[in-house]
Every structure is written in structure tokens, then in C-alpha cells.
Structure 1
Amino acid sequence: MAMTTRASNTTTAARVVVVIADVMAFIIGLWIVMYLLDANRANDLVNFVQDSARWLAGWSHDLFTFDEAWARVVAGYGLAAVVYLFIGHAVAGQLRRH
């Protein structure tokens, strides 16, 4: 009985990690799409998504120095989204194995 509960708890923890990583990557991806489509920056939703993405990708949003602004946004924010997905799913996989 204890083994079943432990397996269930690690599966639940793995799901939580995956959902958090996916939501973080979704927010960053949404900002990339909004930027590329030139969303209205005066809109509250656009501001919220931009601020959230900037916070999540604070370590990478100005990492690259391409001449084109859109390339900097796609590369910098896209890198953060990929890293969050990779790490989140890797951690979840490790939790499921134990």
C-alpha cells in the first residue's frame, strides 16, 4: 500500500512540474507571438504578458545581439522557453522513475 501511495505522489509531483514548465514556456511563447504581430503595448493583457515573459526570461532576453529586434526577441525569449521545457520535463521524468 505504501508503495502505491509513493508512486502516486511522485506521479502527481511530476505532473505539477510539467504543468509549471509548460505554463512558463507558454507565457514566453505568447509574448514572442505578440511581439512579432506588433500587439498593442497599451493593452493591459499585452503589458501583463510582456512583464511576465521579461521576468521569466530575465537571464536570456538580451543575451543575443542580432541587428534585427525581432531576432533578438525570438532568440532570447525562445531560448528561455526551450530551457524551461527541457529542464521541467527532465525533472518530471526523473521523478517518475523514482
Structure 2
Amino acid sequence: MARRYGGNPAAAIILLVADIAALILILWIIFFVFDANRANDLVNWVHHSANWLAGWSKDLFTVDNAKWRTVLNYGLPAVVYLLIAHAIAGRVNRA
């Protein structure tokens, strides 16, 4: 990934952090949509982490269908984190 930004390790770290945050949010969406066992430690950890990462967008969308509501309320932060990280990494690379 560092090669993608001219070998700048700071840009690579920024993208890695955003990728991990987006992965956690997407995992929670998948777990929720497919009714994963919430008593499972991994599912529970992902749920709590996704709640923290999506705290600012919690209940932004109030769609009646719970699965769509989860996709929208947790998918938006994933996209925002990736877009912001790519913008910041591009700036860091130019500096």
C-alpha cells in the first residue's frame, strides 16, 4: 500500500486505519443482516466497535426495515471514513 502513495508510510497508515474501521462497520452490517449470534464474543466485539465508530451517524436514517436501517446507519460512516482517509493520504503524500 505504501507504494501506491509514493512509498509514504504515513499515507499507508492512514489508509490502513480507515480500512480497518470500514471493515468493522461492514462486518457488523453482514452479521446483523444474516442474524449472527450476538452471544458470540466476536459478534459482540464487532457490534460494540461498530457502535462506537458509527456513533455520530446513529439513527441518522429511520427506515422502518431494521436491516436497511443498519445498512444505511453503519454503511455511511464506512464510506465517509474511506473518503476522508483517501483525501488526507493524498495530501500527506503531496507534502
- The TM-score with structure 1 as length reference comes to 0.88
SS in 1 for 2:60: coil
Per-residue deviation, 1:71: 0.9
Q: 2 CA distance for matches of 1:27 and 1:74?
A: 13
Cα distance in 2 between the residues matched to 1:63 and 1:80: 11
Deviations 1:12-44 (A, max 9, x none): 110000000000000000000010110001111
Match of 1:14 in 2: 11
Q: Match for residue 85 of structure 1?
A: 82
Query: 2 CA distance for matches of 1:47 and 1:96?
Result: 37
**Does the Cα contact within 8 Å between 1:25 and 1:82 map onto a contact in 2?**
yes
Q: How many residues align?
A: 90
Over the residues paired in the alignment, what is the CA RMSD in angstroms? 1.1
What SS class does the counterpart of residue 57 from structure 2 fall into?
A: coil
Say yes or no: does 1:64 pair with 2:42: no
Corresponding letter in the other structure for 1:12: P
Shift of 1:62: 1.1
Structure 2 segments unaligned to the other structure (5+ residues): 1-5
Partner-residue secondary structure (3-state), 2:55: coil
Q: Which of 30, 35, 54 is 2:51 aligned to?
A: 54
Over the matched positions of the two proteins, sequence identity in percent amounts to 56
Alignment match, 1:39: 36
Shift of 1:61: 2.6
